[in-house]
């Protein structure tokens, strides 16, 4: 028996059939002493089996691919077209609970090679011409977190200088502690600008622009 | 570790519908099912995930037919059920509503919708206590969501402010996670249902009554909660590393107010027994109407609102 229930699989199949356009790669990076690596890998595999355009690949943390995508923690799940998105849309830790829905939505956006934002937000995104890394600390039982994760990932889809990374704070307590994460979603941009909460795009982009401006 | 799965819904395009339901909690989801089954073309628009505050409830033991389950699980079932009938557009915040002739134009993040009727099932959000230190220490130990942030306090002592049902459930959830909670209640007696009172006693959770919290203290992080013993008048303090605030709810009714919907002094939408508001073809259901804050009541009101919309649109 798999992790995803049959009725959920049926639902997801329907959604994928409606929304999948181009090929998507689900890259899962695993390593030793990793409590959730097997689960992350199994879940990604089960999702990939639901549609022919979703391709699952697993790599060890010491592989060339891990270097190529700058993967440092396991499990890491990357959703990519294998080309322009590189490793910019990523999950460090298991995308379970509420974050499972984020992963599914990401797959469909990556497949469309597009994400939706308003014209105003797009104009601000277009200004970002230097690397900006948005990290979103979450817990799997936080209903507000997927919105913050998806915003980071949608921004990453729309601008090649942006990396959107979910970090599962329960799996990486030391990492969360380092940034004093005590309420989620906790958003950290370029390890500098921080805010807490699931804000609308218009407010979120202001923090991204602030971090970018500090690099000028 | 939770390896449950919350499924997404992927509606994107703008639409012309009979009824737009704003908010996808129990009231909105129930309204969606009833509206569609009655023959109306409906859409549910939610700024976050469908499920509403029910998702925050660590467990629910008073929804008919379910002896006890996580709020998250109940919300998931509601959503799956609703999805069989009605489209749900999630992570899609409504920003503006205008009336043009006999239609409502709804502007949202992911598109514009035209609707003949609107059901506000916008619910409530957690209320702030309003004491010094609360705002400053938010995210530094002050939280409004145990399911989100409880993990960070495992092995630590925290205060739960508010001893009603939500506070009691939050404290029980924290205790089960390995946190050491103490409940602080303003009133001079235990405010939660007997069912929770028993669990609190069994689990040895401390419940302080007759205490007015006056300040949250801490430099970088929460360090203390200060309260006044209302009986003795004495000021007391408890050393804690976290503070979870469960002192009630505030309605989310600003959008409704802007189109002339009448609210009471606290901002709850005024409705008739049939869930009609003072504005034609505008209805409200669930917690935003200020009734009990119970999932079963919200679901019932959602059904009533949808049936009223059906009456007004199809039978008049």
User: What pLDDT does residue B8 have?
Assistant: 67
pLDDT band at B92 (very low <50, low <70, confident <90, very high): confident
User: What pLDDT does residue B1 have?
Assistant: 38
B152 chain-A contacts, CB cut-off 8 A = 169, 176, 181-183
pTM: 0.87
pLDDT band at B20 (very low <50, low <70, confident <90, very high): very high
Within a 13 Å sphere around the CA of A123, how many CA atoms are in the beta-carbon half?
4
pLDDT band at B126 (very low <50, low <70, confident <90, very high): confident
Tell me, yes or no, whether B81 and B30 share the same domain: yes
pLDDT tens for each residue of A136-180? 999 998 988 999 999 999 999 999 999 999 999 999 999 999 999
Rounded to a whole number, what is the distance in Å from the CA of A209 to chain B's nearest CA?
20
Rounded average pLDDT over B125-138: 95
Q: Structural domain boundaries of chain A?
A: 6-112, 119-213
| Range A119-213: architecture per CATH | 3-Layer(aba) Sandwich (3.40)
Domain end, chosen from B217, B245, B273, is at: B245
Rounded average pLDDT over B27-44: 97
Parallel, antiparallel, or unpaired: how do β-strands B103-108 and B111-120 relate? Answer: antiparallel
Nearest-Cα residue of chain A relative to residue B143: A183
A145 chain-B contacts, CB cut-off 8 A = 148
DSSP tag of B268: P
pLDDT band at B6 (very low <50, low <70, confident <90, very high): low
A39 chain-B contacts, CB cut-off 8 A = 3
Q: B24 CB near a chain A CB, below 8 Å? A: no
- The CATH number assigned to the domain holding B193 equals 3.50.50.60
User: What pLDDT does residue A97 have?
Assistant: 85
Tell me, yes or no, whether B259 and B241 share the same domain: no
Question: What are the backbone dihedrals phi and psi of residue A140, each rounded to the nearest 5 degrees, phi first?
Answer: -70, -15
**What is the end-to-end Cα distance of chain B in Å, rounded?**
53
Which H or E element spans position B149?
Answer: helix B146-149
CA–CA separation, A70 and A29 (whole Å):
11
What range defines the domain where residue B277 resides?
A: 15-126+249-314
Token pair listed for B162: 């508010």
Q: With an 8 Å Cβ cutoff, are B4 and A39 in contact?
A: no
Is residue B26 within 8 A of residue B44, CB to CB? The reply is: no
Rounded average pLDDT over B8-30: 86
In a domain, B136, yes or no: no
Rounded average pLDDT over B49-56: 83
Token pair listed for B158: 């925290």
Higher-confidence position of A85 and A8: A85
Question: What are the backbone dihedrals phi and psi of residue A67, each rounded to the nearest 5 degrees, phi first?
Answer: -65, -45
In a domain, B132, yes or no: no
Q: How many domains does chain B have?
A: 2
Chain B from 192 to 251: CB within 8 A of any A CB: 220-221, 242
Is residue B19 within 8 A of residue B116, CB to CB? The reply is: yes
Q: With an 8 Å Cβ cutoff, are A101 and B221 in contact?
A: no
Q: Which of B117, B212, B196 is nearest to B162 (CA)?
A: B212
Which residues, other chains included, contact B308 with Cβ-Cβ below 8 Å and sequence gap of 6+? Answer: B274, B275, B276, B283
CB atoms within 10 A of CB A18: 9
Tell me, yes or no, whether B29 and B107 share the same domain: yes
Q: So what's the ipTM on this one?
A: 0.90
The separation between CA B305 and the C-alpha centre of its own chain, rounded to angstroms, equals 19
When the pLDDT of each residue in chain B is averaged and rounded to a whole number, the result is: 93
- Look at the domain A6-112 and name its fold: Glutaredoxin (3.40.30)
Tell me, yes or no, whether B201 and B217 share the same domain: yes
Which H or E element spans position A46?
Answer: helix A37-48
Q: Could you give the C-alpha distances from B84 to B34, B77, B88, B231, B254, in angstroms and in order? A: 12, 11, 10, 55, 30
The separation between CA A203 and the C-alpha centre of its own chain, rounded to angstroms, equals 20
User: What pLDDT does residue B54 have?
Assistant: 83
pLDDT band at B57 (very low <50, low <70, confident <90, very high): confident
Is residue A82 within 8 A of residue A158, CB to CB? The reply is: no
């Amino acid at each position: 028996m798999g992790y995803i229930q049959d009725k959920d699989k049926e639902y997801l199949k329907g959604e994928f059939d409606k929304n999948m356009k181009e090929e998507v790669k689900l890259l899962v990076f695993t390593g030793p002493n990793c409590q959730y690596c097997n689960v992350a890998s199994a879940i990604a595999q089960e999702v990939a089996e639901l549609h022919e355009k979703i391709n699952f690949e697993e790599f060890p943390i010491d592989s060339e691919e891990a270097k190529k995508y700058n993967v440092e923690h396991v499990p890491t799940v990357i959703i990519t077209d294998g080309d322009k998105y590189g490793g910019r849309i990523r999950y460090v830790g298991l995308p379970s609970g509420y974050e499972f829905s984020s992963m599914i939505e990401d797959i469909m956006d990556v497949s469309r090679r597009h994400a939706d934002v308003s014209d105003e937000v797009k104009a601000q995104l277009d200004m970002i011409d230097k690397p900006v890394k948005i990290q979103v600390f979450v817990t799997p039982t936080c209903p507000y977190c997927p919105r913050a994760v998806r915003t980071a990932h949608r921004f990453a889809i729309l601008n090649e200088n942006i990396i959107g990374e979910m970090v599962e704070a329960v799996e990486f307590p030391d990492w969360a502690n380092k940034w004093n994460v005590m309420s989620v979603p906790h958003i950290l941009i370029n390890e500098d600008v921080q805010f807490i909460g699931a804000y609308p795009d218009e407010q979120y982009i202001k923090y991204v622009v602030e971090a970018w401006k500090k690099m000028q | 570790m939770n390896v449950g799965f919350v499924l997404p819904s992927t509606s994107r395009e703008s639409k012309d519908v009979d009824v737009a339901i704003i908010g996808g909690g129990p009231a909105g989801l129930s309204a969606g099912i009833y509206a569609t089954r009655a023959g109306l073309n409906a859409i549910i628009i939610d700024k976050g995930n469908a499920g509403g505050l029910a998702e925050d409830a660590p467990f629910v033991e008073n929804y008919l037919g379910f002896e006890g389950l996580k709020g998250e699980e109940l919300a998931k079932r509601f959503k799956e059920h609703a999805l069989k009938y009605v489209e749900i557009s999630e992570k899609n915040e409504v920003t503006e509503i205008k009336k043009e002739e006999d239609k409502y134009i709804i502007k949202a993040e992911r598109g514009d919708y035209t609707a003949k009727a609107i059901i506000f099932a916008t619910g409530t959000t957690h209320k702030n206590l309003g004491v010094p230190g609360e705002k400053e220490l938010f995210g530094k130990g002050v939280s409004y969501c145990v399911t989100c942030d409880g993990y960070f306090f495992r092995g630590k002592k925290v205060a739960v402010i508010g001893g009603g049902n939500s506070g009691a459930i939050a404290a029980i959830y924290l205790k089960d996670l390995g946190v050491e909670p103490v409940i602080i209640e303003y009133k001079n007696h235990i405010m939660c249902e007997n069912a929770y009172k028993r669990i609190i006693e069994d689990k040895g959770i401390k419940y302080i009554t007759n205490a007015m919290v006056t300040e949250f203290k801490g430099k970088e992080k929460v360090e203390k909660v200060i309260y006044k013993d209302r009986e003795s008048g004495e000021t007391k303090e408890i050393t804690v590393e976290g503070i979870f605030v469960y002192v009630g709810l505030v309605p989310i009714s600003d959008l409704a107010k802007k189109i002339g919907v009448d609210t009471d002094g606290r901002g709850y939408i005024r409705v008739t027994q049939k869930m009609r508001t003072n504005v034609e073809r505008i209805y409200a259901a669930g917690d935003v109407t200020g009734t009990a804050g119970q999932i079963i009541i919200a679901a019932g009101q959602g059904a009533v609102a949808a049936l009223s919309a059906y009456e007004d649109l199809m039978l008049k």
